[in-house]
Amino acid sequence: MREVLREGHTEARVAPAAVASPHAIGVGALAALAGEVTIVDGATHIAEAQADGTLRVRAATAADQAALLVVAEVERWIELPLGACTDYDALEDRIETALREHGRDPGAPQPVRVRGAARRLALHVIAGACPIARPDGPAPWRFVGPVAAVELVGVFVDGAAGRLTHHDRRSHLHAVAPGLAGHLDDVAFDRAVLLLPDDR
């Protein structure tokens, strides 16, 4: 992530549509940081800010290229109650606790999903620069508000700042809801469900 978002290596590297198998989840950014890429069960959501201030979410085409993409293939998931999470930090704490309780190493990349009704969801869609790595760059499209049904997908890994996560996070998560997709900035759940890979 540091190489792409901070150092400016935003060239095309991989076609999201080519790696979106039926069991794939993934998160990333389009080449030139022109938008966000989110893969859920093989469906690839491309989110792009529009000149009129709106957001366009569409399926990926063969022509789409990503500068950054993290993908995992998971055939089966287990569902665990997550309870209330007041913010993103609390969510990460609960995910780490669940990983440890189920014998997973939080220091190794772990595919994760979270489903629930968000009392507050904050996300952004890059439009030429990452607002976290380069806050002085072009402003992203942003959303803040409640969402009745949202799914978060991505990777949890402690100690991978600058590689798989931003410097202040233990996860790299994107959110998908009707008409919405983008990089998670914050979230509050009254209750949610965590999905982890079923290794049985």
Q: How far apart are CA 147 and CA 168, in angstroms?
A: 25
Q: How far apart are CA 48 and CA 147, in angstroms?
A: 19
Q: Are 49 and 125 in contact (CB under 8 A)?
A: yes
Q: How far apart are CA 46 and CA 50, in angstroms?
A: 12
Q: How far apart are CA 82 and CA 180, in angstroms?
A: 23
3 DSSP 8-state letter: I
Q: Which of 91, 101, 102 is nearest to 156 (CA)?
A: 91
What phi and psi values does residue 31 have, to the nearest 5 degrees?
-55, 145
Which fold is adopted by the domain 77-197? 60s Ribosomal Protein L30; Chain: A; (3.30.1330)
* Identical fold, 2-73 and 77-197: yes
Q: How far is CA 20 from the centre of its chain?
A: 15
Question: What would the pLDDT profile of 9-60 be if each residue is shown by its tens digit?
Answer: 889 899 999 999 999 999 999 999 999 999 999 999 999 999 999 999 999 9
Q: Are 40 and 151 in contact (CB under 8 A)?
A: yes
State yes or no: pLDDT of 184 exceeds 70. Answer: yes
State yes or no: pLDDT of 79 exceeds 80. Answer: yes
Q: How far apart are CA 70 and CA 157, in angstroms?
A: 12
List CB contacts of 92: < 8 A, sequence separation 6 or more: 156, 169, 170, 171
Provide the pLDDT for residue 139. 92
The CATH number given to 2-73 is: 3.30.1330.80
One-letter amino acid for residue 132 of the chain: I
Provide the pLDDT for residue 162. 65
Domain ranges of the chain: 2-73, 77-197
pTM of the model: 0.94
What phi and psi values does residue 155 have, to the nearest 5 degrees?
-130, 140
Q: Which of 180, 182, 159, 181 is nearest to 171 (CA)?
A: 159
Provide the pLDDT for residue 159. 78
